[in-house]
Chain A
């Protein structure tokens, strides 16, 4: 499969309080930030793309290859999609050290070493996930996801459990690395500034639907709040 493929998603799924109905594309080499309020359906969308959930109807295709197509009954198991997924919570395997975690699904050991060096965790190779900090765990999770040489990278609020300093640092590292990845990257976040900073495009989802107005409205409110705080502090 060519790595320079576009991700195209058009899926519908009934959720508890509303229907998820989203249609978008994400170009190879670009990062689409998926934003929206809590419970908007962002994580469900990521899980559908990853093959961890099935939509009621619709398609998930990368280039010419459809991973999910309810019309033709196609559903490729998550293990066959060759994608990288970094979860919100740390999901490194607790019984393996950092290097074994990163190399868990990798075929190229040189790539494992390169990634660990790139993310600055080479010195943690022999440590268990429980013995390193949250930021280091998330760096290891990024390495693990990229070590497979994925055709698509999905990030489900990977920075939400980190402190502000670590979050800024990892954001900056991701911005540097994403330009070198020739694959579509989907980054789910509830942090609007993070979305604006990292995203080549923004996909706002509200109550299961694409809602560009939601993002612009929220950004206006945020800027107005920042402006009030600034003016207040200068008085």
Chain B
């Protein structure tokens, strides 16, 4: 099949749109929750802090398929979340979003946390002395000061969301027409011997990743 025909095929558009929707929702969650967790990790002296730090960092060092399995057990129908709330996240759009969010979270949190630790304390103290409370200091001083790191972390996290397979497979289930993201669709194409399709889809994902990389390079050069 010609590459243009592959691109225009409905079975390509479905995963493409699904991936765009997942990245849009997970991207907003990463931006808000990621920055707040980074701030919490730099400010808190609570005993909970190392636990939060461990959980955020875990997807970086733990195999994605195993992390996905742990999430499946936790959020599945018979898991604590499913039993307590009755909400079924797995094998659905929210499950895919959750997988992308968990995969991208450490890449969002760690650069922002490092930037806040770098100059954050001194800038925060300067703002306190100038009469600002914690929220004003966060919104008017800390966040604008680390905005470059926020953007860099966010782009890295989006890149990770785009390529996420292991956790998405476990939580989303690779249900055709429902939870088969672009990365999973490449896997499906290779598995069914449609190599042309796999190449075209890989090129699409590659172009988006390259664009993210170019923005990151530009950010680090300024």
Contact = CB atoms under 8 A, between A and B. Distances in A.
Interface of A: 50-52, 77-85, 87, 89, 91, 93-96, 104-105, 144, 148
Given A77-B128, A81-B129, 9 more contacts: A51-B128, A52-B125, A78-B128, A79-B132, A84-B129, A87-B122, A94-B145, A104-B130, A144-B130
B114 interface: no
A94 B130 CA distance: 16
B128 A52 contact: yes
A105 B133 CA distance: 12
A15 B129 CA distance: 23
A7 to B, nearest CB: 16
Pick the 6 closest A-B CB pairs, nearest first: A105-B130, A91-B126, A95-B144, A78-B128, A85-B129, A79-B128
A79 B145 contact: no
A83 B129 contact: yes
B21 interface: no
B148 to A, nearest CB: 10
B129 A50 contact: yes
Contacts of A144: 130
A82 B123 contact: no
B193 interface: no
Task: Kindly name the residue among B122, B125, B127, B131 whose own CB sees the greatest number of chain A CB atoms within 10 A.
Answer: B131
B147 interface: yes
B128 to A, nearest CB: 4
B145 A52 contact: no
Nearest to B144: A95
- Chain B interface helix/strand/loop/mixed: helix
A87 B126 contact: yes
Contacts of A77: 128
B141 interface: yes
22 contacts: A77-B128, A78-B125, A79-B128, A79-B129, A79-B133, A80-B131, A84-B129, A85-B126, A89-B122, A91-B123, A91-B125, A91-B126, A93-B126, A93-B127, A93-B144, A95-B144, A95-B147, A104-B130, A105-B130, A105-B131, A144-B130, A148-B130
Interface in B129-155: 129-133, 141, 144-145, 147
Contacts of B122: 87, 89, 91
Task: Kindly name the residue among B122, B127, B128, B129 whose own CB sees the greatest number of chain A CB atoms within 10 A.
Answer: B129
A50 B131 CA distance: 12
A148 B127 CA distance: 12
Nearest to B125: A52
Contacts of B131: 79-80, 82, 105, 148
Nearest to B141: A93
A91 B145 CA distance: 12
Nearest to B146: A95
A80 B129 CA distance: 8
A107 B129 CA distance: 15
Nearest to A85: B129
Interface in B90-138: 119, 122-123, 125-133
A51 B132 CA distance: 13
A93 B145 contact: yes
Contacts of B145: 93-95
Contacts of A148: 130-131
Contacts of A82: 131
Given A87-B122, A89-B122, A105 B132 contact: yes
A21 to B, nearest CB: 24
